[in-house]
Amino acid sequence: MALPTTPPSQARTTRVSALVSEEESSTITAKASAAGLSVSAYLRLRALDDNSGVPAHALAQVDRLIAGMEADLDAAMAALDATLHRLDIAQPAPWDVA
């Protein structure tokens, strides 16, 4: 997947540092990847975009809703995986002839 790059005329030369936990770093990296952006581009977008006048608390609420949906999806996938595993153990594959 190609990541957006900055045109040479808008080269960025100043670094900004922030301390985050390992979990926060993983979350930021995952969200950037899901958005198809580098971590730098993702953080710039989140920090600098005015979001067309959308209040920050509304964006935080959307982020929480998305996180909840991701957790629900993870739980559903785990349940499906467990069910498929039980079916695989209980029923031999049709090509397995004893």
- Residue 91 DSSP class: S
pLDDT (tens digit per residue) in 3-33: 455 555 577 888 888 899 999 999 999 988 8
pTM: 0.44
Per the structure, the complete domain to which residue 38 belongs is given by: 21-52
42, 62: one domain: no
Collect all residues with Cβ–Cβ distance below 8 Å to 36 and sequence separation of at least 6.
1, 3
Domain count, the chain: 2
Inter-residue contact 41 to 3 (CB < 8 Å)? yes
Does residue 14 form part of some domain? no
